Amino acid sequence: MSEKAFPWRPDQFPVLYEHGQPTAVVVDLETFKRLELILDNLLSREPEPEDTLIAEAAELKQLIAQVQAVATPMPDWKQVINEVQRSSPLAA
């Protein structure tokens, strides 16, 4: 099999119609095997880190709400961070 991105065009395969509506596409065995491999790889792939973040977004929102409920915001947090950075032994 050659490693081409998506060599298929919609007009390349015969379309089967039922009651005037397209219902199926006829593909050759080589194309079917390539599609099967692509689908198998998609189903077997490892989750992306971004997927995990999205899945845990509800928990993150809940955690943020809990912190906001008990935390008192600093009036000038940027100045506090700058002072901490300046006093750090790493700030050379």
Average confidence (pLDDT) over 52-68:
81
Q: In this structure, what token pair is assigned to residue 5?
A: 């991105």
Q: CA dihedral defined by 57, 61, 66, 68, rounded to 10 degrees?
A: 140
User: For the chain, what are the domain ranges?
Assistant: 10-87
What's the pLDDT at 91? 62
Whose CA is closest to 81, among 71, 66, 91? 91
Q: Say if CB 37 and CB 29 are below 8 A apart.
A: no
- Tens of pLDDT, residue by residue over 24-43, are 989 999 989 988 998 888 88
Q: Please say if the pLDDT value at position 19 is more than 70.
A: yes
Whether the pLDDT of residue 78 is over 80: the answer is yes
2 pLDDT above the threshold of 60: no
